[in-house]
Amino acid sequence: MTGPKLGDVLDRDPYSGDMTKIVNWVHNVDKLLASDPYYKGLLAKYGARMTAFPQLSDKDIAAKMEHFERLASKETDNEIKILFP
């Protein structure tokens, strides 16, 4: 997978906790990559284009984001254990 880590994405700009903006992105990747400076920046940074998933429901997307968040906090826990066993 080449893309940003999604664990804390929802809390960051430009979402600020607004899941409908995440849903808009996952449904309309091509449109936003063409029009929105923030996503143009991500494309430049990662040099990769995310596939849109128009078939995912709002609920599916929210569930995946929650899952990513849990994975991210697990990674953090593991890093902490390595540093402070």
Q: Which residues bind ligand HEM (CB under 6 A)?
A: 1-4, 6, 9, 22, 25-26, 33, 42-43, 46, 48-50, 53, 61, 64
Q: How far apart are CA 84 and CA 28, in angstroms?
A: 43
Residue 78 CB, nearest approach to ligand HEM (Å): 22
Q: Contact, 49 vs 43, CB < 8 A?
A: yes
Residue 79 CB, nearest approach to ligand HEM (Å): 20
Q: How far apart are CA 30 and CA 71, in angstroms?
A: 27
The encoded tokens of residue 48 equal 């990769």
Residue 80 CB, nearest approach to ligand HEM (Å): 24
